[in-house]
């Protein structure tokens, strides 16, 4: 993979001087079209051997283009803010939005490669990381991002020469750290593991481009040209896909039995017993979230369910047990324009709690496979791939030490109707029933089928759904509280 | 000020039980109207004596209302992220948006009061802090926020009793820290300084409400009722102000001489000399931003000027000198909907650099007194108050250790016309001239007057404007680079 970057590529001064003005002009034009069009984000990963001119080339790119629409982010050791959230959190924060070019130094590749080189992880771990990276990049690509991954390569001999030269120059010596030299000693291992990783992550949607770093002019021209051509090619292809309003055919199982229909909605708790149990479980929740051990964990709770199933009431019973400084409730409504300019899951990533905190999502990332699927807000291909993306997201969450609970609140259509009518009768504005609620009700069967599909595809051993019988509010609230408390108890 | 909160207010159990359901219902209704209307943010500050039930009351409020539209933030010691930015940065990040209630524990009052109590600051410092807080709250209020400041008070005797009781209870003892006991020893001093601060920050737009904290029921009812009434009162008053498209009358000085007209636009640098100077100043800028001392400072550069005056070109000469990992260029265009839901300056605060970094604003917070003033995007009262708000903002910046440079690029109408025509002639899409550019050109005199007013009112000793003669691009670019380099040199 690196052989072709060891052949001694070079561009002479004259050719460079002749080529650069044209390239700059067309790069600027490509960038401007991209920005004006606002159609897709461009993610440029800069990786490779230390001393191969990564920084210089990125500075040249910034000089050639309009730096106002480029966002360059360098990653080193995670800050405390970052370390207290799932590993991918900081990369999500750094993703460029539509129309923008994001240049990432030290991306999601650094840790897996370096850990393996330093024998902090096993081969199987690297394999797993590679599989995940491929899924992640596939998701970015499916969400419309253009991904360019540049690997800067120089030979071992050349690297030694460069590190020494920089070290000797007082103006630049700050750039070579002890880590660089330590890494150099592991050159052969680093070479092999990088090559293996690149080979296995060079996909159709996000291929690696290996750049020989020895000659500055060659390096700059290669990266500049690749970037320009990729943007232009994509712009030519890119047309705003009109999303057809698909109403997916109802493919119920032949016997019409879904997991939701098997739920025993007759379960109930009488008021007196409820009061006692409520107090018990709220006390327990408070106690657990104040344990010292809780400071190492975060809690993410997602609530989904039919309209009027009592999500709000259940959430209030949870927050009622907690200290207001510890939790955040995120009501999920229509995305803001900043959210729309990023991949779908971005708006959930941004609210993830740090350790010792709880985030409660009132409706969640499952909107894609529920309302968006049914109302045709996204294409069938988009919600179909969402199941796998969501499973990856939740795995990342759980592995970062978060306690994840997902609740589906189910009630019967008769009880929903009763509650709608009751709400229409009360004076409370907050409980008013809108036309939309009635429309959704007409699509009861579609929502039930979408929910059943969702549970089938996303109830995993690491992130199972809790199906909550919500016909009786007491029962539902206690079940939610108990489930949460028991999940937290396992970890503190 | 605290006497009325030492009279032994109490509510009996029966009255409480009778009042709470009504209060909850009307609070929910008020909150719902607020959210639906989305008209203004509600900022609730919770301050006061330790052990006076602040946390309990906030938890009760969260239980009574819909926690999905409340955001509770507690401030303690600044994190590294926070400590590396101006002191007010973290409060800006925590401000609720329109339609939301933000509950802030430990607000901008904590530090000034505690520092004075512990004799870390002088009386004059406290005075200054008080003046600033008043300006800040006035700005929030002018931007439409409803501000409620609750001070929880108990007597010295009562506090001693409570601290001891909590300390003795193993379930709650985590809540009393050594700091609390140390603070208790300073009770009398704390009392006097708090009272002084409250008296001087109890303004018409943001009055303090002192709440006796001894009786839980009294405390909860007082805060709940005040909050509800304030929201309802404001909702009743609140109508979306239609902003009239004011074209302010042209009040030029009688002799028609402004600071802009006094600029010598004939200054120029020949190309050959320019190349040399460019290299010199870019090298200098690079050298300075790599000094160790630079890690203690941040740089904020704001570029304003007439269309086609060469802001973009000047910015590229600056970024061309820097490492792409160090800077961020923020192009200021129409605000996103998240930005519109916050006070005007919020969108500039969010991009402020941490120490060791640079943020370059292409157009800036001055938009309010330039384009917004001229196009009538905001009311006259709003842009008139902006001058003082901007001066405060910049003072905060500079005092946090940031180097602030503000550039006004000036050219003649003839040169602008020449550049417009030249741009129309080039193939570059990015240089295309829009109808808007021609319309702005028709308002040349208005823009010049607005700029002259702006410079007069915001060129302060701590944050002076640099007027850049931009008729000759070489001259302009060198002046920008030199000014920046010299400003940084003073601090590293």
**B153 or A248: which carries more pLDDT confidence?**
B153
> How many domains, chain A?
2
Closest Cβ opposite residue B336 in set A36, A322, A338:
A338
Pairing of β B208-212 and β B146-153: parallel
Closest CA to A442 of A412, A413, A421: A413
Q: Which helix (H) or strand (E) holds A389?
A: helix A380-399
Does residue A349 share a domain with residue A477?
A: yes
Query: Quick check: is A167 in a domain?
Result: yes
Residues whose CB is less than 8 angstroms from the CB of residue B202 and which lie 6 or more positions away in sequence, other chains included = B208
Query: Quick check: is B435 in a domain?
Result: yes
Give residue for tokens 């930015």. B85
Of A189, A221, A237, which one is at a domain's C-terminal end?
Answer: A237
Closest Cβ opposite residue B325 in set A69, A74, A324:
A74
Residues of A in contact with B427 (CB under 8 A): 29
Q: Is A320 on the interface with B (CB under 8 A)?
A: yes
pLDDT in the model for residue A243: 44
Indicate the range of A5-9, A306-310, B224-228, B408-412 predicted with least confidence: A5-9
Indicate the range of A236-245, A366-375, B95-104, B433-442 predicted with least confidence: A236-245
Residues of B in contact with A312 (CB under 8 A): 66, 68
Query: Quick check: is B444 in a domain?
Result: yes
Q: Phi, psi at residue B151, to the nearest 5°?
A: -110, 120
Does residue A233 share a domain with residue A280?
A: no
Is A336's CB within 8 Å of B331's CB? no
Residues of B in contact with A427 (CB under 8 A): 29
Indicate the range of A85-94, A394-403, B177-186 predicted with least confidence: B177-186
Does residue A137 share a domain with residue A23?
A: yes
Does residue B431 share a domain with residue B326?
A: yes
Mean pLDDT of A287-315: 94
d(CA A52, CA A415): 67
Is A29's CB within 8 Å of B336's CB? no
Q: Write the pLDDT tens digit of every residue in B370-412.
A: 999 999 888 888 888 888 889 889 988 998 889 999 999 999 9
Suggest the residue from A23, A70, A311, A324 to mutate for an interface test with chain B (most B CBs closer than 10 A): A324
d(CA B121, CA A145): 52
d(CA A294, CA A298): 8
Does residue B290 share a domain with residue B150?
A: no
Window 231-250 of B: residues touching A by CB (8 A cutoff) are none
Q: Write the pLDDT tens digit of every residue in B251-309.
A: 556 666 778 888 999 999 999 999 999 999 999 999 999 999 899 899 999 999 999 99
Q: Is B55 on the interface with A (CB under 8 A)?
A: yes
Q: Write the pLDDT tens digit of every residue in A414-467.
A: 999 999 888 887 765 556 677 888 888 889 989 998 999 899 888 888 899 999
What's the order of all strands across the beta sheet hosting A358-362? Answer: A327-331, A358-362, A298-305, A402-410, A465-469
Suggest the residue from B66, B68, B322 to mutate for an interface test with chain A (most A CBs closer than 10 A): B68
Full DSSP string of A197-242: HHHHH--SSS-EEEEE-SSHHHHHHHHHHHHHHHHHHHHHH-----
**What is the torsional sign of CA A471, A474, A477, A480?**
negative
Does residue A325 share a domain with residue A210?
A: no
Mean pLDDT of A41-58: 92
Contact present, B397 and B297 (Cβ < 8 Å):
no
Is A68's CB within 8 Å of B331's CB? yes
d(CA B217, CA B16): 7
Query: Quick check: is A321 in a domain?
Result: yes
pLDDT in the model for residue B252: 58
Beta bridge partner(s), residue A301: A360, A405
Find the closest chain B residue to A320 by CA distance.
Answer: B63
Q: Please give the residue range of the domain that contains residue A351.
A: 271-491
Query: Quick check: is A250 in a domain?
Result: no
Q: Phi, psi at residue B387, to the nearest 5°?
A: -55, -50
Give the ipTM.
0.74
Does residue B232 share a domain with residue B137?
A: yes
Query: Quick check: is A380 in a domain?
Result: yes
d(CA A318, CA A282): 7
Find the closest chain A residue to B324 by CA distance.
Answer: A59
Shortest Cα distance, chain A CAs vs residue B244, angstroms: 27
Does residue A146 share a domain with residue A61?
A: yes
Does residue A160 share a domain with residue A108?
A: yes
The structure's pTM equals 0.80
**What is the torsional sign of CA A335, A341, A344, A345?**
negative
Query: Quick check: is A442 in a domain?
Result: yes
Closest CA to A98 of A139, A146, A66: A146
Token duo for residue A109: 């590749």
Token duo for residue B283: 């090298």
Window 342-371 of B: residues touching A by CB (8 A cutoff) are 362
Does residue A295 share a domain with residue A394?
A: yes
Query: Quick check: is B373 in a domain?
Result: yes
Residues of A in contact with B324 (CB under 8 A): 55, 58-59, 61-62, 67, 70, 72, 103
Shortest Cα distance, chain A CAs vs residue B134, angstroms: 26
Does residue A136 share a domain with residue A40?
A: yes
Provide the percentage of residues in chain A whose pLDDT is more than 70: 95
Indicate the range of A292-306, A363-377, B5-19 predicted with least confidence: B5-19
* Alpha helix positions (H), B177-330: 178-185, 187-201, 216-237, 271-289, 311-319
Does residue B354 share a domain with residue B284?
A: yes
Beta bridge partner(s), residue B403: B299
The CATH number for B279's domain is 3.40.50.300
Window 428-457 of B: residues touching A by CB (8 A cutoff) are 428-430
Q: What angle do CA A408, A410, A414 make, to 5 degrees?
A: 160
A vs B, Cβ pairs < 8 A, gives 131
Closest Cβ opposite residue A103 in set B171, B324, B427:
B324
Q: How far is CA A424 from the centre of its chain?
A: 39
Token duo for residue B15: 């009255």
């Amino acid at each position: 993979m690196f052989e072709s970057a060891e052949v001694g590529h070079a561009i002479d001064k004259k050719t460079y001087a002749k080529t650069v003005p044209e390239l700059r002009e067309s790069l600027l034009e490509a960038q401007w079209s991209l920005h004006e069009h606002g159609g897709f984000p461009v993610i440029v990963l800069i990786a490779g051997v230390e001393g191969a001119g990564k920084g210089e080339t990125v500075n040249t790119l910034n000089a050639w283009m309009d730096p106002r629409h480029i966002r360059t982010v360098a990653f080193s050791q995670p800050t405390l803010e970052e370390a207290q959230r799932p590993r991918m959190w900081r990369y999500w924060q750094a993703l460029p939005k539509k129309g923008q070019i994001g240049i990432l130094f030290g991306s999601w590749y650094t840790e897996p490669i370096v850990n393996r080189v330093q024998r902090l992880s096993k081969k199987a771990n690297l394999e797993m990381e590679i599989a995940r990276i491929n899924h992640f990049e596939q998701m970015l690509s499916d969400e419309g991002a253009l991904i360019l991954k540049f690997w800067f390569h120089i030979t071992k001999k050349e690297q030694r020469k460069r590190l020494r030269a920089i070290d000797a120059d007082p103006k630049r010596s700050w750039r070579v750290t002890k880590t660089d030299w330590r890494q150099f000693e592991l050159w052969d291992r680093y070479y092999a593991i990088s090559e293996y990783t690149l080979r296995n992550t060079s996909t159709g949607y996000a291929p690696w481009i290996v750049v020989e770093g020895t000659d500055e002019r060659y390096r700059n021209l290669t990266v500049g040209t690749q970037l320009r051509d990729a943007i232009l090619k994509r712009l030519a292809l890119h047309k705003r896909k009109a999303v057809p309003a698909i109403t997916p055919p109802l493919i119920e199982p032949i016997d019409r039995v879904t997991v939701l229909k098997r739920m025993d909605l007759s379960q109930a708790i009488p008021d007196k017993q409820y009061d006692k149990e409520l107090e018990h479980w709220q006390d327990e929740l408070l106690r657990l979230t104040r344990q010292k051990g809780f400071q190492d964990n975060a809690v993410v709770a997602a609530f989904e369910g039919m309209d009027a199933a009592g999500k709000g009431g259940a959430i209030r019973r949870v927050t009622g047990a907690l200290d207001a400084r510890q939790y955040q409730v995120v009501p999920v409504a229509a995305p803001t324009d900043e959210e729309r300019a990023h991949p779908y899951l971005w708006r959930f990533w941004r609210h993830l709690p740090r350790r010792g905190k709880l985030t409660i999502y009132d409706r969640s990332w499952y909107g894609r496979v529920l309302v968006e699927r049914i109302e045709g807000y996204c294409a069938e291909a988009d919600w179909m791939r969402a199941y796998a993306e969501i499973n990856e997201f939740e795995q990342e969450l759980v592995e970062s030490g978060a306690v994840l609970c997902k609740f589906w609140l189910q009630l019967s259509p008769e009880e929903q109707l009763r509650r709608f009518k009751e709400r229409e009768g009360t004076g409370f504005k907050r409980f008013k029933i809108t036309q939309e609620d009635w429309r959704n009700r007409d699509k009861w069967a579609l929502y039930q089928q979408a929910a059943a599909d969702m549970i089938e595809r996303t109830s995993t051993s690491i992130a199972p759904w809790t199906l909550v019988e919500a016909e009786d509010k007491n029962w539902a609230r206690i079940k939610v509280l108990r489930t949460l408390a028991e999940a937290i108890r396992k970890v503190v």
